[in-house]
Amino acid sequence: MLRIAALLALIAAPLHAEEVTLRHGELTLLGDFVQADETAAPVALITHGTLAHRDMELIEALQDVLAERGISSLAHTLSLGIDRREGMADCDAPHIHRDTDADEEIIAWIDWLADEGHTNPALIGHSRGGRQVARAAAGRDDLSAVILLAPATTRSAERGRAGYESRFGGSLDTLLATAREAGADDLLEVPGLLYCPDARASAASVLSYYGGVPTGADTYLSDITAPVLVILAQKDDVLPEAPATYIPLRRPGLTVEVVEDADHMFLDFYTDDAGDHIEAFLAGIDAPDERDTVIDFAAADPEYGAYLAQECSSCHRASDDTQAVPALNGLEADHIYLALEDYATGLRDNAAMGLVARSLDDEQRIALSAHFSRLDD
């Protein structure tokens, strides 16, 4: 009933977004600013996914649910090299944009917000926008937080390249060789670019998206100094590898949440769930984090750990089979402890490990983690 009431409230009283503009080189960038009432939270700067825009359903809904929770936001449209770009990208238009243009535009909006008195924003990015936000945030010390919704993974970038020929009917290797021989601004007839088949793209555009080492948001997380929240969709068929990619990266300062039953776009009630996670995360940035508590694994009883590990070792053995249950010997104690915690809470989905982890108390998890970390790999 509460969710129905919240949805009806959104329909009955849509929030007003003020269009704002920013001159960036020869381009005018467009954004929608939504001011929340009586807010103490940092302003959220929202970046959309591949070839999308600020008025897409997810982005508008996210701005609404954030404002309801006292969080002002600015959602911008990446120009893709087009002045005052509106709506979904036109696949028939020449593609002269480069992947890293997004970083420059995100940084330009950060500076615009600062000029407007909104310093230390929280960056939010969805899908490919999550990877671009993570890359832009790496090494910066002027952000309150970085929040990534279903962020693109390194594996998804690799998959896109491996499947290029089957998707577009042309050789990526041949295209890259042609692009490397052409001038940066030369327009090429290409089998496809991103989601666009039979496209025209500059050589620089082709090389920016396909020519370098494949990366995902996971590539840049270790270089982000601001607190990070990764929100995953449980039924994400676009990035099915996302839980296996991001959950093991959890650490103090990097939180991972999974929205149950949501798909890649977090539509309908799932946007509210994402908003709840964002609200709680931003509210808790300055509060003590339970995961920040240092566990003294060195003080764990080695004999107790060895006793408990007897049952684990029947499955977790060294093997050359990449599909086998992984060995635990030599892994960091923190990694094992957090994995057990995730299985116990259901964040990691495995029936057998869930039963085992829930049967252990905290002392036993610490003892087990310390035991395996002391063994040679």
> Where does the chain hold its CATH 1.10.760.10 domain(s)?
294-374
- For 254, the 3-state DSSP assignment is strand
Structure tokens at 256: 């991972």
Residues in the chain: 377
Other Cβ atoms less than 10 A from the Cβ of 138: the count is 17
Which residue has tokens 């995902």?
216
- Fold classification of 294-374 is Cytochrome Bc1 Complex; Chain D, domain 2 (1.10.760)
CA 187 – CA 205 distance, rounded (Å): 9
Q: List C-alpha distances in Å: 58 to 149, 213, 234.
A: 11, 30, 17
Strands 27-34 and 18-24 come out as: antiparallel
pLDDT score recorded for residue 8: 40
Residues of the chain with pLDDT under 50: 1-14, 288-292
The reported pLDDT for the residue numbered 306 is 84
> The tokens 């500076």 sit on which residue?
111
Name residues whose C-beta falls within 8 Å of residue 148's C-beta, 6 or more positions apart in sequence.
124, 125, 130, 133, 134, 217, 228, 229, 230, 231
**For tokens 């039979």, what's the residue?**
198
Upper half-sphere CA count for residue 94 (Cβ side, 13 Å): 10
- Residue span(s) of the chain under CATH 3.40.50.1820 come to 2-153+216-283
* Confidence at residue 12, expressed as pLDDT on a 0 to 100 scale: 37
Do 145 and 285 form a contact (C-beta atoms < 8 A)?
A: yes
pLDDT in tens, 44-79: 999 999 999 999 999 999 999 999 999 999 999 999
**Cα(71)–Cα(65) distance, integer angstroms:** 9
End-to-end CA distance of the chain: give it in Å, rounded: 52
Architecture of domain 2-153+216-283: 3-Layer(aba) Sandwich (3.40)
**What tokens were used for 365?**
């998890």
CA angle 331-337-342, nearest 5°? Answer: 120
Structure confidence at residue 268 (pLDDT): 84
The percent of residues in the chain predicted with pLDDT above 90, rounded, is: 67
The angle subtended at Cα 150 by Cα 144 and Cα 151, nearest 5°, is 65
